[in-house]
């Protein structure tokens, strides 16, 4: 039986649900999907769900000093809980790029071999490998937009001691979206969701087997027309059984969802995603 985290996860879960609803309801608005779903989503946003989890204004966090010696649970909780930059909702929408050059981070492609839950695997035992693995977990769940997929992926990729599968904030977000748009347990077959990792950062490490990393994704939702928005996601990750998995503990503070490459993205500490190809790697689907 999975042991519950030491604190209720409603805060980060609700924030995630609000953010993901914003992502997909943006596309719903553009495409003219179910009116009731739009009304419900707007109601959730106006109700201020998750406002108590946002960081204090002016707090910025990029890549922190890496710890090569593990200090333990207290240090890990400190890294995960450290607040990140608070940004307005509009920062997530497409915007002009910054005039400054953004730093980059090289992320390995992995082996391209599907693992549990059909999540791509083969990422190295490095913080950048943890980023690559988290991105693939997100891609598998968000592109499917299925409660069954969310449950299967979380059970396959989360170590005991975290939140329950139904309380994982991405599952809660998928469930809220499907409910608001009256699509049942999986998205409408005429709609599509595409997730593209665009930026990332290493929030902090504790030894070589534990890290909190964040991924910034461009999400495109299509139904007759197309809508786009940015979506940031942080997770504790732990090396176990030869792969990076979602680590136990209270979920990290919410990541700032900023359009990649903008001034807000730079201020938040995001580094542009650069794919690190290797001769033996299989490129991710759709990548040349």
* Per-residue pLDDT at 176 exceeds 80: no
- Residue of 24, 134, 44, 96 lying closest to 261 (CA atoms): 96
pLDDT at 206: 97
% of the chain exceeding 90 in pLDDT: 51
**Domain-embedded: residue 281:** no
pLDDT at 199: 98
**Domain-embedded: residue 99:** yes
**Domain-embedded: residue 285:** no
pLDDT at 221: 78
> Rounded mean pLDDT of the chain?
78
* Per-residue pLDDT at 186 exceeds 50: yes
pLDDT at 25: 54
* Per-residue pLDDT at 145 exceeds 70: yes
Summarize pLDDT for 82-104 with one digit per residue, the tens: 999 999 888 989 999 999 998 99
**Domain-embedded: residue 41:** yes
d(CA 145, CA 95): 26
Average the pLDDT over 167-179 and give the result: 79
pLDDT at 223: 66
d(CA 111, CA 106): 16
pLDDT at 181: 66
pLDDT at 53: 36
Alpha-carbon distances of 74 from 11, 77, 161, 250, 258, rounded to whole Å:
20, 5, 15, 12, 29
Range of the domain at 66: 10-276
> Strands 104-108, 271-276: parallel, antiparallel or unpaired by DSSP?
parallel
**Domain-embedded: residue 287:** no
pLDDT at 83: 95
Summarize pLDDT for 161-172 with one digit per residue, the tens: 999 998 887 887
**Domain-embedded: residue 4:** no
pLDDT at 174: 79
Which string of DSSP letters, residue by residue, matches the chain? -PPPPSS--HHHHHHHHHHHHHHHHHHHHHHT--HHHHHHHHHHHHTTTTGGGSPPTT------PPPSS---HHHHHHHHHS------GGGGS--PPPSSPPPEEEEE-----B-GGG-B----SSHHHHHHHHHHHHHHHHHHTBHHHHHHHHHHHB-TTS--GGGSHHHHHHHHHHHHTT-TTB--TT-EEEEEEEEEEEEEESSSSEEEEEEEEEEEEEESEEEEEEEEEEEEEEEETTEEEEPSSSPPPPPP---TTSHHHHHHT-EEEEEE--TTPPPPTT--
**Domain-embedded: residue 1:** no
Summarize pLDDT for 192-211 with one digit per residue, the tens: 888 999 999 999 999 999 99
More confident residue, 232 or 157: 157
pLDDT at 70: 85
**Domain-embedded: residue 283:** no
Listed range (89-103, 177-191, 222-236) with the worst mean pLDDT = 177-191
Q: In total, how many domains does the chain have?
A: 1
């Amino acid at each position: 039986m999975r042991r519950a985290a030491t604190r209720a996860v409603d805060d980060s879960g609700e924030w995630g649900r609000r953010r993901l609803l914003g992502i997909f309801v943006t596309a719903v608005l553009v495409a003219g999907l179910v009116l009731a779903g739009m009304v419900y989503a707007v109601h959730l946003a106006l109700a201020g769900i998750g406002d108590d989890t946002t960081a204090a204004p002016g707090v910025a966090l990029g890549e922190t000093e890496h710890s090569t010696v593990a200090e333990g649970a207290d240090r890990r909780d400190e890294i995960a809980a450290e607040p990140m930059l608070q940004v307005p909702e509009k920062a997530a929408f497409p915007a002009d790029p910054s005039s400054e050059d953004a730093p980059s981070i090289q992320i390995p492609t992995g082996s391209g071999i599907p693992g549990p839950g059909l999540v791509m695997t083969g990422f190295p035992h490095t913080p950048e490998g943890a980023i690559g693995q988290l991105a693939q977990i997100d891609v598998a769940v968000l592109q499917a937009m299925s409660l069954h997929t969310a449950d299967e992926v979380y059970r396959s990729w989360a170590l005991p001691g975290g939140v329950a599968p139904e309380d994982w904030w991405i599952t809660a977000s998928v469930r809220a979206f499907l409910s608001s748009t009256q699509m049942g347990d999986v998205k409408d077959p005429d709609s599509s969701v595409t997730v593209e990792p665009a930026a990332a950062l290493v929030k902090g490490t504790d030894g070589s087997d534990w890290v909190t990393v964040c991924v910034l994704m461009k999400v495109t939702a299509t139904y007759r027309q197309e809508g786009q928005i940015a979506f940031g996601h942080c997770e504790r990750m732990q090396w176990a059984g030869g792969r990076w998995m979602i680590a136990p503990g209270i979920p990290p503070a919410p990541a700032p969802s900023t359009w990649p490459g903008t001034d807000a993205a730079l201020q938040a500490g995001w580094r542009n995603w650069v794919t690190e190809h290797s001769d033996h790697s299989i490129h991710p689907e759709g990548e040349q």
